[in-house]
């Protein structure tokens, strides 16, 4: 509904004056979204007023408008509705303002308010905690744009499959909530895609128990794949590691990334490891190392080498894990290296 033709139009003087009065960096807006300044109608004072009412100070108001200039094109009625909507899951207005400052675009996308409200209420009914729903609103806002029936359909498909794979009724709710909180984007998939991916795994001789294990390990990312890419990735791994179907299956269960990453990604990571002098046998022993990017692997090898730790002759476990896991491993190797060797015959200096 807004024009982006900037050539023949002039900036709205009233908008500029109102932005100046709020100490907003207009140069920044011109650089990012000049078209906002060309609109005939803007609600600068009104939107600033609503934000101030919620407890935002002048600097915060200016930051929000600079980060998301189109906020001033929303009507006060739209913003008040959005405010009421987000208050369903926010503890207080202080938290709400903090979220708006961090994620202004999520808040100022007001076109889907009916769907947003229906989905918020649906997620609350499912037992998702409000702090998880606020995380969804800010980091995965698109799942709220779906009609609520679409999200219900996907969740029902997941529940049905969980029970069909031997999952228990008692654990189903916890499993679904965990899956959603780890990866809300699974809701953007269709029920058909979810069904096809599960059938692909079963056709490849993964038992129901193993499929459930994979779903939990992959945090729902498996639903964003398709059978063609999974087939290619598995074939690539089979050729590289020269293994049987059964051995490949065990490797995939150990490292679901072999299923999840595309062939070019796996190839690049494998080459990166081989360049560091690591053998295929070592990678096969610890395939989880392929979950790390080449840059992370190089950085970690460099740090360990500085301690005199030779990765080529050791196992690759020391490279694995999150940044925190690696720091713990690194610390242990470092303290082992620095610890003085105890000499049993050295005289002990004991004070009287």
What residue spans define the domains of the chain? 10-110
What are the strands, taking DSSP E only, across 163-298? none
Distance of CA 66 to the CA centre of its chain: 25
- Asked whether residue 351 carries a pLDDT value surpassing 70, the answer given is no
**Residue 342 confidence (pLDDT) above 70:** no
| Dihedral angle sign, alpha carbons of residues 280, 286, 288, 294 | negative
Distance in angstroms (rounded) separating the CA atoms of residues 269 and 289: 9
Tally DSSP H helices, then E strands, for the chain: 20, 0
**What would the mean pLDDT of 66-70 be, rounded to a whole number?**
95
Average pLDDT over residues 27-38: 94
Residue, of 340 and 233, whose pLDDT is higher: 233
Question: In residues, how long is the chain?
Answer: 352
Q: What is the per-residue burial (b if ≥16 Cβ within 10 Å, else e) of 74-95? A: beeebbebbbebbeebbeebee
Better-scored residue on pLDDT, 87 or 6: 87
Q: Tell me the two tokens of residue 7.
A: 């050539």
Start-to-end CA distance of the chain, whole Å, equals: 89
- Provide the pLDDT for residue 2: 55
Read off the pTM.
0.75
Q: What is the pLDDT of residue 260?
A: 85
pLDDT in tens, 96-151: 999 999 999 999 998 999 999 999 999 999 999 999 999 999 989 999 999 999 99
Whether the pLDDT of residue 170 is over 80: the answer is yes
Report the distance separating Cα 165 and Cα 20, nearest Å: 61
Higher pLDDT pick, 54 / 321: 54
> How would residue 347 be classed by pLDDT, with cut points 50, 70 and 90?
low
Q: State whether residue 157 is helix, strand or coil.
A: helix
6-10, 74-78, 277-281 — most confident range: 74-78
Token representation of residue 290: 């392929």
Question: Tell me, what's the pLDDT at 237?
Answer: 94
The residue-averaged pLDDT of 217-222 equals 74
Q: Which residue has tokens 């990735």? A: 233
Q: Which of 7-21, 86-100, 295-309 has the highest mean pLDDT?
A: 86-100
Percentage of the chain beyond pLDDT 70 is 93
pLDDT of residue 341: 52
Q: Within 13 A of 41's CA, how many CA atoms are on the CB side?
A: 7
Nearest CA to 153 among 192, 114, 125, 201? 192
User: Which of 47, 112, 52 lies closest to 73, judged by CA?
Assistant: 47
Judge whether residue 182 has pLDDT over 80.
yes
- Report the candidate in 242, 262, 250 with the shortest Cα–Cα distance to residue 288: 250
Q: What per-residue confidence (pLDDT) applies to 137? A: 93
What is the model's pLDDT at position 218? 73
Q: Give the dihedral of Cα atoms 11, 13, 17, 23; nearest 10 deg.
A: 10
Tell the residue number behind the tokens 């809300």, with chain if given: 184
Helix (H, G, I), strand (E, B) or coil at 18: helix
pLDDT digits (tens, 9 = 90+) for 240-291: 999 999 999 999 999 888 988 999 999 999 999 999 888 899 899 989 899 8
Going by C-alpha positions, the residue among 264, 254, 271 that lies closest to residue 210 is: 254
Q: Are 351 and 324 in contact (CB under 8 A)?
A: no
Does the pLDDT value for residue 194 go beyond 90?
A: no
Contact 336, 330 (CB under 8 A): no
DSSP state of 207: -
Percent of the chain with pLDDT over 90: 54
Residues near 158 by beta carbon (within 8 Å), at least 6 away in sequence: 176, 179, 186, 194
Q: Do 287 and 259 form a contact (C-beta atoms < 8 A)?
A: no
Distance CA 205, CA 258 (A): 16
Residue in 302, 240, 292 with CA at minimum distance from that of residue 269: 292
Q: pLDDT category, 330, cuts 50, 70, 90?
A: confident
Confidence of residue 214 (pLDDT cuts 50, 70, 90): confident
């Amino acid at each position: 509904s807004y024009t982006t033709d900037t050539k023949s139009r002039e900036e709205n003087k009233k908008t500029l004056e109102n932005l100046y009065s709020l100490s907003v960096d207009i140069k920044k807006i011109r650089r990012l979204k000049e078209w906002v300044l060309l609109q005939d109608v803007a609600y600068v004072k009104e939107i600033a007023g609503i934000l101030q009412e919620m407890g935002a100070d002048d600097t915060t108001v200016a930051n929000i408008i600079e980060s998301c200039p189109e906020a001033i094109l929303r009507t006060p009625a739209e913003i008040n509705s959005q405010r009421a909507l987000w208050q369903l899951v926010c503890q207080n207005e202080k938290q709400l303002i903090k979220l708006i400052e961090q994620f202004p675009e999520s808040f100022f996308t007001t076109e889907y308010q009916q769907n947003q409200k229906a989905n918020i209420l649906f997620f609350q009914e499912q037992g998702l905690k409000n702090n998880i729903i606020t995380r969804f609103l800010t980091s995965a806002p698109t799942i709220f744009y779906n009609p609520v029936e679409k999200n219900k359909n996907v969740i029902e498909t997941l529940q049905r499959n969980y029970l069909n794979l031997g999952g228990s009724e008692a654990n189903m709710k916890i499993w679904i909530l965990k899956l959603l909180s780890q990866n809300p984007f699974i809701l953007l998939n269709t029920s058909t895609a979810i069904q096809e991916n599960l059938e692909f795994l079963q056709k490849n001789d993964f038992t129901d128990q193993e499929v459930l294990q994979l779903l939990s390990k992959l945090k729902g990312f498996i639903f964003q794949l398709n059978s063609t890419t999974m087939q290619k990735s598995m074939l690539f791994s089979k050729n590289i590691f020269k293994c049987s179907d059964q051995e490949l299956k065990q490797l995939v269960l150990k490292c679901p990334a072999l299923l999840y990453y595309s062939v070019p990604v796996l190839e690049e990571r494998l080459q990166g490891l081989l360049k560091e002098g690591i053998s295929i046998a070592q990678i096969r022993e610890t395939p989880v190392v392929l979950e790390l990017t080449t840059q992370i692997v190089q950085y970690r090898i460099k740090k360990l080498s500085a301690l005199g730790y030779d990765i080529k002759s050791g196992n690759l476990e020391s490279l694995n894990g999150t940044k925190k896991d690696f720091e713990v491993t690194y610390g242990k190797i470092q303290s082992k290296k620095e610890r003085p060797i105890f000499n049993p015959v050295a005289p002990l200096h004991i004070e009287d």
